Amino acid sequence: MKHCVLKQSVNRLINELPREITIVAVAKTRSVEELDAVKESGIEILGFNYVQEAEKMCLQFGSSANWHMIGHLQSNKVKRAVRLFDMIETVDSMKLAYLISRQCECFEKVMPVLIEINSGKEFCKTGVLPEDAEELAKYISKLPNLKLQGLMTMGPRFGNPEDARQYFRNTKEIFNKLNRLLIPNCEMKYLSMGMSNNYHVAIEEGANLIRLGRTLFEQKEAVLS
């Protein structure tokens, strides 16, 4: 029964957001029941930080949702990731891009990918440096089994949401620049940034994919009161 409340709070959140914004429900530490509840409320994309986590969920959940890899992808997990995911948001090196494309060939699959931008060197351990994004985008555009569709960035997860604004703005600038270059086989469509703490700021700065964990799953008390 408690999931009725979860559904209500998810519905309310979806109604508050502009239409062009798509939510990725971040699955870490959540139960199958919780993920089912958000899916029934109309969220179609689930985001996973780890391949193992997604595999475990896959057995119980089937393939009725759209799955995004949002955590750092290790080379030795690429094969399993390619089988599971509908998008990999965290491509941050030529080597990783190459490995994903090669695995996709075996499955005759074209994988939509985002480039992860390391927008804040202080807190981001992963992602490509802003100055290297263009080179990586051009490299990806030549790989037959990848389709570049945009950028993703983390930004700081906690603290004052305003502190994230400059990182989001920088990432949007890179997004615009790559868009203007009209790179072949590259469709700059998604800008994935913003989490529970700062998605409002991210949307103001141009995000259209927001990745939400806590604010989706932990608002039960707020709804009850």
Q: Based on the shown chain and the rule CB under 6 A, indicate whether residue 91 belongs to the binding site for ligand PLP.
A: no
Q: Based on the shown chain and the rule CB under 6 A, indicate whether residue 22 belongs to the binding site for ligand PLP.
A: no
Q: Considering just the CA atoms, what is the radius of gyration of the chain in Å?
A: 17
Query: Is-contact 14 199, C-beta < 8 A?
Result: no
* DSSP helix/strand/coil, 90: strand
Closest-by-Cβ residue to ligand PLP is: 213
Q: In the bound complex, what is the minimum distance in angstroms from residue 53's beta carbon to ligand PLP?
A: 11
Which residue in this structure is represented by tokens 């089994």? 145
Q: In the bound complex, what is the minimum distance in angstroms from residue 106's beta carbon to ligand PLP?
A: 27
Q: Based on the shown chain and the rule CB under 6 A, indicate whether residue 211 belongs to the binding site for ligand PLP.
A: yes
Q: In the bound complex, what is the minimum distance in angstroms from residue 116's beta carbon to ligand PLP?
A: 9
Q: Based on the shown chain and the rule CB under 6 A, indicate whether residue 212 belongs to the binding site for ligand PLP.
A: yes
What ranges in the chain are assigned the alpha helix state H?
2-16, 32-40, 51-61, 78-84, 94-107, 133-141, 165-181, 199-204, 214-217, 220-224
Q: Based on the shown chain and the rule CB under 6 A, indicate whether residue 49 belongs to the binding site for ligand PLP.
A: yes
What are the C-alpha distances in Å from 78 to residues 84, 152, 172?
A: 10, 19, 28
Task: Convert residues 58-77 into a mask of x (bound to ligand PLP by CB under 6 A) and - (unbound).
Answer: ------------x-------
Q: Based on the shown chain and the rule CB under 6 A, indicate whether residue 28 belongs to the binding site for ligand PLP.
A: yes
Please list every residue from 112 through 131 that binds ligand PLP, using CB under 6 A. Answer: none
What are the C-alpha distances in Å from 166 to residues 120, 185, 188?
A: 9, 29, 21
Q: Based on the shown chain and the rule CB under 6 A, indicate whether residue 195 belongs to the binding site for ligand PLP.
A: yes
User: Interface residues with ligand PLP (CB under 6 A)?
Assistant: 26, 28, 49, 70, 154, 157, 195-197, 211-215
